[in-house]
Structure 1
Amino acid sequence: MSARQTTALVVLLASQFMMAADFSVLNVALPEVGVSLGFSTGSLQWITTMFALCAAGCTLVFGRVGDFVGRRRIFTIGMVVLAVSSLLGGVAGTPAMLLLARTLQGLATAAVTPAALALLTTAFTEPGLRARALGLNSVMMSGGFSVGAILGGVLTDVLSWRWAFFINIPVAIAAIIVVPLVVDESRAERRSRIDLPGAVLITLGMFAGIYGVTRVGEDGLDAVAAASLVVAAVLLGVFWVVESRTADALVPVHILKQRDIAFGNLAALFIFGGETALIFFTGLYVQNVLGLSSLLAGLVLLGIGVGQIIAGVVGPRILQKVSPRSLLGLSLLLQGAFMLFGAWASADSAWLVPLIVTQFVNAFFSMLAALCFMVIATSSADADSQGMATGMATQSQQVGIAIGIPLVSSVFAAVIGTGSPTVAQELSGIHTAIAVTGTAQVVIGLVLWLVLRGRSPKPATSV
C-alpha cells in the first residue's frame, strides 16, 4: 500500500469501528442512563431500538444514494451528523433529547457504513489488497460491537455514561478533515433517477419488521407485534413487485436472484444475529448467574474480540487459497458448534475459563464467515452498483445485529416465565436460548455449505 492508501484505510476503518461500537456502547450503562435522565424501566429499550431502527432501516437507501451523489460526500455528511448527534447525546438532559440523539446516530451509521465500505472496495481494486482491506473492515465491524460493550462499562465506571457520546466527536472531526485529502470521490458512471417508491417501501418495511421483532422479544407476540410483522411482509412483498417493474430499481431483482448474493446476505443474518445474542447472554450469565460486576463482564468478552482480530488478520490469507463460497457455510457451522458449549455452562465459576476459550474459537469462525460473506456480497456487483451492493451487505449485517437479541430473548423469556426469575431459572433460559441459536447456525451453515461449495473453484483473490 502507498502512504495515501494506508492513511485512507486507517481513517475508514476507524469510522467503521466507531459506528459498530455505537450500537452497543450504552447497553451496559442503560440502568445508569435511566436513573440520570428519568427513563421508566419500560422505555429504556428505546435507547437501543431507535438506533437500530434507523441504522438498519435506512442503510440500503443511503448506500444507493451514495452511488449517485458521491460516496465520499455521503460519508462526510454522515460524519457531520454523527458529531452533532454525539454532542447532543452527551449533554442530553431529558429522555426526548437523548432519543433524538440516538435517532440521528442511527441515521449517521446508515449513511457512513455503506459509504465507507464502498470507498474501500473502489480504492483497493487489486484483489489481494481488497481481500486484506475487507478482512480488516470485518474486524472493525464485528469487533466494534463487542468492544463497544466493554468500552461502555469502562467509561461508565471510570467517568460517566456521557463519555460514550463525547468519545465519538474527535474521531468524527478527524475523519471529516482527513478523508477528503486521502480518498478520491467515487460515484456510479451511469447516472439515473433515484427509485423513490422502492426507497420508501424498503425503509418502511424494514422499520416495521425490526420494530415487530423487537416487540416480540420484549412483550411476546401481541397484537401490535403481529400487525407490525404483517405490515412488514406486505411492504416488502410490494417492494419486490415494484422493483421487478422499475427500470432504475433501487435493488434490481436480477441481483436479488443471484444465488451467491441471496445466500450470502441470508448468512449475514445468522452470523451477526447469533454473535450479538451470544455477547448479550454471556453478559447475563456472568453478571446474573456468576455474580461478577459489569466491568468484569465486559472484560470476559475480550476473548471474543481477540478471536475476531486474529481471524481478520489471517482470514484474507486463507481466502487466497480457499473459495469463500466453500468456506462460508463451514465457518458458520463451526461458529454455531462452538456456541453450543455455552448451553452446558453451570453456575460454577470454574466454567468461566472453558467458556472464554470456546467463545474465542466461536469468534474466530464468526469473523471468518463474516469475511467470506463480505467478499461474496461486494465482489458480485459492478463498479456502478458498489453502493447498492455494500448497502445491501451492510443492511443485512445491521438487521442481524438489530433482531438477534430480541428474537433469542423471546426464547429466554418463554423459559423463565413472568415475575422475578431465580438464578436456576435464568440459567435454564440462557441454556435454551444459546442451544436454539447455535443449532440454527449449524443447520444454516450446513445448508450453505451444500448449496455454495463448488460454485467457483477460484480463490477469493479472483472472485
Structure 2
Amino acid sequence: MMTKRRMAIATVALLVANFMGGLDATIVNTALPAITSDLNGIRLIGWISSVFLLGTAVTTVLWGRIGEIIGKKLTFQISVLLFVISSVVGGMSTDMIMLIVARAFMGIGAGGMVSIPFIIYADLYPNPSERARALGWVTASYTLSTVIGPLIGGWLVDALSWHWVFFINLPIGIISLLMLQFTYQEKKEMIADKSFDYLGSGMLILTLVVLLFASDSIASSITRAVILFVIGLILIVIFYRIEASKKNPLVPTELLKNWRIQSQNIIMFLINGFFIGYSVYAPMWSQGLIGTNATYGGLTQIGGSILLLLGTRLTARLMPKIAYKKIVTVGIVSVFISSLAMVMATKNAPYWWLLVSGAFEGFGMGLSFTPMQVSLQDGVRKELISVSTTFGLLFRTLGQTFMSAIFGAVLSISTASQDGGKVTSRMINKLTDASSAKNLPQDLLPQLRTILFNGMHMIMIIGFILIIIAIVINFTRKEPVKQVR
C-alpha cells in the first residue's frame, strides 16, 4: 500500500534524478574549457553535447516500451545506473574519444531517467490537479539545477578538477535509487504481448539520426542538409508503414493518427524550439551587444526561471477550474510576447528588455507544458499512457535539439568572415565573451556588433515564426477527450 509518506519520498527520489539530469546540462558546459585544454580536444568539443542529446532523443520512446515489458521501476533504475556508470567512465576519460563514447551512453541513460518518471507520476497521481502540482515540482527541480549548475561546475573545476563534474553524479544517483527502491510499490500489470518491436525501433533511431544530422549540416553544406532531410522524410513514411503492419508496434498508428494528441506534441516542439533559442542567445546578446560581463549574461535567465516556476504553480490551481486549452492559449500568447519583443529589439536595446522578454517566455512555458503533458496521458486509453508520455517528451527534446542546430547554423552563416577578411568569425566569437571582447580592435566594434546583431535577429525571427505556427495550431485544434480509467 502506497501511503502519502511513501508517495512523497518516491516523488523526491524521481525529482533527485531530474535534478541530476538538469545539473548535467549546465555543469558540463562550465567545465568544457578545462576539458578541451586537458584533453587537447577543441576540434571535437561540439560532440560532447550533441552526442548526449542524440542519445537522449533516439532512446526516449524505447525506454517507455521497455518499461511496459519489465516494469517502470526497474527500467528507471537501469537507466539511472547506466547514466551514473557512464558518468564515472566520463570522469576517468584520458582522451576525447573515450569521453564522447561515455557521453553517448550518458545520453542513452538520460533518455529513460527523464522520461520514465513522467509515466510513474501518472501512476502515483491519478488526479490531474495533484499530478499538475507534482509536475510543477519537476520543473522547479530542473530549473534549480540549471541555475546553480554553473556555480557548482565552476567550484568543482577550480577546487578539484573537471573530472568531478562527472563523478558528482555517483552519490546523487545512488540517493535516488535507494529512495525509490524502498518507497515505490509498482502496480503489477499483466501485458499479453511482451514482444519488442526491434524493426520499428531501429527505423525510428535511423530516422532521428538522419534528421539530426540534416539539421547539423545546414552550416557546412545546404545540399547535404536537403538530401539528408529528404531521406529522413522517406524514412518517416517507411517507419509509419512498419508500425501499421505490426501487431504490437513501438508507436501504435492509433496514436500517430490522433491529431488531438499530436497537435499538442507539435506545439511543444515549436515552443521548445523558441525556448532554446532564447536560452542560448540571450546571454550572448547581453555580452556581445550590450557589453555586460558573463554574470549579467547568465542573469538574463533568472527572470524566466522564476516566472516559469510561478506559471507551473498557477497552472495546478487553474486546471480544475479552466479548460486546459485556455490555459495553454494564455501560455502561448505569453511566449508570443516574448518572441515579439526579441524581434523588435534593436542593436541598442537595453538590458531590461531582455529580462522582460525572458519573464514572458518563462511564464508562458510554465503555463503551457503541464496541461498538455497531463492531457497527453489522460487523453489516451490506459494501454497507451506510456508511449504517449515518452512520445510527447521526444517532441520536446527534438524541438530543442533540431532548433539548436539550426540556430547555430544560421549564426555561423550570418557571422562568416566579411569585408575581405578584415572582419573574421574568430573576432565575432571573441565579441560574445566579455573577457575576450576587450582585446578586439575598438574601431571594429560597431561593425562587429552589427554583424552579430544581424545573425541573432534572424534567429529571433525564426523563433517568432515558430510561435506564430504554434498559435495557429492551438487555435484550430480540439482538446483530447479525457478517457475513463
TM over 0.5: yes
Gaps of 5+ in 2: 418-423, 429-447
Note the C-alpha offset of 1:99: 0.5
1:446 pairs with 2:448: no
Output the CA distance in 2 between the equivalents of 1:24 and 1:319: 32
Output the CA distance in 2 between the equivalents of 1:415 and 1:391: 36
Q: Superposed, which structure 2 residues align to 1:119-158 within 5 Å?
A: 119-141=120-142, 148=149, 152=153, 155-156=156-157
- CA separation of 1:190/1:462 partners in 2, compared to 1, >3 Å: closer, same or farther? closer
Identify the residue that residue 431 of structure 1 maps to in structure 2: 457
Identify the residue that residue 319 of structure 1 maps to in structure 2: 319
Q: Is the 8 A contact 1:311 1:368 kept in 2?
A: yes
Output the CA distance in 2 between the equivalents of 1:85 and 1:207: 21
Output the CA distance in 2 between the equivalents of 1:411 and 1:80: 38
Note the C-alpha offset of 1:153: 5.4
Identify the residue that residue 335 of structure 2 maps to in structure 1: 335
Moved more, 1-10 or 98-107: 1-10
Tell me the SS of whatever aligns to 1:320.
Answer: coil
Output the CA distance in 1 between the equivalents of 2:159 and 2:276: 25
Note the C-alpha offset of 1:330: 4.0
Identify the residue that residue 385 of structure 1 maps to in structure 2: 384
Note the C-alpha offset of 1:142: 6.2
Q: Is the 8 A contact 2:57 2:398 kept in 1?
A: yes
Note the C-alpha offset of 1:140: 4.1
Output the CA distance in 2 between the equivalents of 1:414 and 1:268: 27
Letter in 2 for 1:272: N
Output the CA distance in 1 between the equivalents of 2:210 and 2:148: 29
1:375 pairs with 2:377: no
1:91 pairs with 2:117: no
Q: Is the 8 A contact 1:347 1:427 kept in 2?
A: yes
Please provide the CA RMSD for this pair.
2.6
Q: 1:294-318: per-residue Cα shift (whole Å, max 9, x none)?
A: 3442233222211211112121112
Moved more, 261-270 or 433-442: 433-442
Output the CA distance in 2 between the equivalents of 1:153 and 1:73: 34
Q: Is the 8 A contact 2:271 2:470 kept in 1?
A: no
Letter in 2 for 1:30: L
Identify the residue that residue 398 of structure 1 maps to in structure 2: 397
Letter in 2 for 1:86: S
Aligned residues: 455
Output the CA distance in 1 between the equivalents of 2:471 and 2:410: 21
Q: Superposed, which structure 2 residues align to 1:58-457 within 5 Å?
A: 58-141=59-142, 148=149, 152=153, 155-156=156-157, 160-186=161-187, 188-192=189-193, 193-216=195-218, 218-223=219-224, 225-346=225-346, 348=348, 351-418=350-417, 419-420=424-425, 421=428, 422-452=448-478
Output the CA distance in 2 between the equivalents of 1:140 and 1:264: 24
- CA separation of 1:146/1:351 partners in 2, compared to 1, >3 Å: closer, same or farther? same
Q: Is the 8 A contact 2:129 2:319 kept in 1?
A: no
Output the CA distance in 1 between the equivalents of 2:266 and 2:143: 17
Structure having the higher Rg: 2
Q: 1:105-149: per-residue Cα shift (whole Å, max 9, x none)?
A: 101111222211111111111232122223333444566556656
- CA separation of 1:159/1:345 partners in 2, compared to 1, >3 Å: closer, same or farther? farther
Letter in 2 for 1:448: N
Which of the numbers 11, 14, 22 marks the counterpart of 1:12? 14
1 or 2 for the larger relative contact order (CA 8 Å, sep ≥6)?
A: 1
Output the CA distance in 1 between the equivalents of 2:146 and 2:459: 20
Letter in 1 for 2:55: C
Note the C-alpha offset of 1:335: 0.5
Note the C-alpha offset of 1:230: 2.9
Identify the residue that residue 433 of structure 2 maps to in structure 1: none
Q: Is the 8 A contact 1:114 1:394 kept in 2?
A: yes
Letter in 2 for 1:390: T
Q: Is the 8 A contact 2:339 2:467 kept in 1?
A: no
- CA separation of 1:152/1:373 partners in 2, compared to 1, >3 Å: closer, same or farther? farther
Tell me the SS of whatever aligns to 1:199.
Answer: helix
Output the CA distance in 2 between the equivalents of 1:212 and 1:83: 31
Q: Is the 8 A contact 1:343 1:431 kept in 2?
A: yes
- CA separation of 1:15/1:64 partners in 2, compared to 1, >3 Å: closer, same or farther? same
Output the CA distance in 2 between the equivalents of 1:372 and 1:445: 16
Moved more, 129-138 or 203-212: 129-138
Q: 1:76-96: per-residue Cα shift (whole Å, max 9, x none)?
A: 011111211112222322101
Letter in 1 for 2:463: T
Q: Is the 8 A contact 1:57 1:207 kept in 2?
A: yes
Output the CA distance in 2 between the equivalents of 1:31 and 1:266: 36
Output the CA distance in 2 between the equivalents of 1:180 and 1:143: 25
- CA separation of 1:146/1:372 partners in 2, compared to 1, >3 Å: closer, same or farther? farther
Q: Is the 8 A contact 1:68 1:187 kept in 2?
A: no
Q: 1:198-224: per-residue Cα shift (whole Å, max 9, x none)?
A: 1111111112211221232x424242x
Output the CA distance in 1 between the equivalents of 2:454 and 2:202: 42
Output the CA distance in 2 between the equivalents of 1:93 and 1:392: 36
- CA separation of 1:427/1:13 partners in 2, compared to 1, >3 Å: closer, same or farther? same
Letter in 2 for 1:134: L
Moved more, 50-59 or 117-126: 117-126
Moved more, 413-422 or 350-359: 413-422
TM-score by length of 2: 0.86
Gaps of 5+ in 1: none
